[in-house]
Chains A and B, each alone.
Chain A
Amino acid sequence: MKNKLIMAIALVMALVAGWTATTTTAQAATDDSLAQVQKSGKLVMGTSPDYPPYEFQATVHGKSQVVGMDVAVGKKIAKDLGVKLVVKSMSFDSLLVALQTGKVDMVISGMNPTPARRKNVDFTHTYYQGGYSIVINKSDKGIYKDKDSFVGKTIGAQTGSTMYTESKKQTSGTTVKGMTSVSDLILGLQSHKLQGVAMEKPSAQAYVANNKELAMIPSKFNLSASDTSASVAFAKGSTSLVAAANKSVDQIRKQNLVNKDYLPAAGKYLKTNTVNTSMLHYWKAFLKGIEYTLIITVCSVFFGFILGVLLSLARMAQGGVFATALRWLATAYVEFIRGTPMMVQVMFVYFGLGLIVNLPALTSGIIAISLNSGAYIAEYIRGGINSVDKGQTEAARSLGMTKGYTLRYVVLPQALKNIWPSLGNEFITLIKDSSIVSIIGVSELIFQSNIVRSDTYRGVAPIAVIMVLYFIMTFTASRILNHFERKMQHD
Chain B
Amino acid sequence: MTKPIIEVKDLAKNFGDNQVLKNISEQVNPGQVIVVIGPSGGGKSTFLRCLNLLETPTSGEVDFDGQNLTTLDTKKVNTLREQMGMVFQNFNLFPNMTVLENIKLAPMKVKNVSDADATKRAHELLQQVNLDDHADAFPSSLSGGQAQRVAIARALAMDPKVMLFDEPTSALDPEMVGEVLNVMQDLAQQGMTMVVVTHEMGFAKSVADRVWFMADGYIQENNTPEEFFSNPQTERAQDFLSKILM
Number of residues from B at the complex interface, CB < 8 A:
31
Please tell me if A402 contacts chain B, counting CB pairs below 8 Å.
yes
**Contact partners of A405 in chain B: CB under 8 A:** 109-110
Interface residues of A in 400-423 (CB under 8 A from B): 400-403, 405, 409-410, 413-414, 417
- Given known A414-B96, A417-B96, A490-B138, contact A400–B158 (CB-CB < 8 A): yes
Task: Determine which of A392, A398, A417 lies in contact with B81 in the assembled complex, contact meaning CB atoms within 8 Å.
Answer: A398
Shortest distance from the beta carbon of B199 to any chain A beta carbon, whole Å:
20
Given contacts A398-B54, A398-B81, A400-B81, contact A491 B95 (CB under 8 A): yes
Q: Chain B residues near A417 (CB, 8 Å)?
A: 96
Q: A490-B95, A491-B95 are in contact. Are A401 and B139 (CB under 8 A)?
A: no
Q: Is B94 a contact partner of A400 (Cβ separation < 8 A)?
A: no
**CB-based contact A395/B88 at 8 Å:** yes
Question: B95–A391 contact, CB under 8 A?
Answer: no
Look across to chain A and name the residue whose beta carbon is closest to the beta carbon of B154. A399
Q: What 0/1 pattern do residues 19 to 62 of A give for CB contact below 8 A with B?
A: 00000000000000000000000000000000000000000000
Q: In chain A between 224 and 244, which residues have their CB closer than 8 angstroms to a CB of chain B?
A: none
CA–CA, A400 to B95, complex, Å? Answer: 19
Q: Are A392 and B94 in contact (CB under 8 A)?
A: yes
Convert B123-142 into 0s and 1s, putting 1 for each residue whose CB lies closer than 8 angstroms to a CB of A.
00000000000000011100
- Chain A residues contacting B88 (CB-CB under 8 Å) are 391, 394-395
Closest Cβ neighbor of B108 among chain A residues = A409
Decide if B90 touches A391 in the complex (CB within 8 Å): yes
Distance between B45 CB and nearest chain A CB, rounded to angstroms: 11
A-contact bits for B85-111, CB 8 A (1 contact / 0 none):
110101011111000000001100110
Known: A402-B78, A491-B138. A397 touches B54 (CB 8 A): yes
Contact, CB under 8 Å: B109 / A491? no
Which chain B residues border A413 with CB–CB below 8 Å? Answer: 96
B94 in complex: contacting residue of A395, A397, A402, CB < 8 Å? A395
Beta-carbon contact of B79 and A490 below 8 Å? no
CA distance A413 to B54 in the complex (A): 22
B140 surroundings in chain A (CB, below 8 A) = 490-491
Question: Which residue from B93, B96, B106 sits with its C-beta under 8 Å from A400?
Answer: B106
Q: A213 in the interface, Cβ–Cβ < 8 Å?
A: no
Q: Which residues in A have their C-beta under 8 angstroms from that of B105?
A: 399, 401, 409-410
Task: Tell me the smallest distance from the CB of B90 to a CB of chain A, in Å.
Answer: 6
Point out residues on B near A: beta carbons under 8 Å. Answer: 52, 54, 74-75, 78-79, 81-86, 88, 90, 92-96, 105-106, 109-110, 138-140, 151, 154-155, 158, 164
Show 27 A/B contacts (Cβ-Cβ < 8 Å), sorted by A.
A389-B92, A392-B92, A395-B86, A395-B92, A395-B151, A396-B106, A397-B54, A398-B86, A399-B81, A399-B110, A399-B154, A400-B78, A400-B81, A400-B83, A400-B106, A400-B158, A401-B105, A401-B110, A402-B74, A403-B74, A405-B110, A414-B96, A417-B96, A490-B139, A490-B140, A491-B95, A491-B139
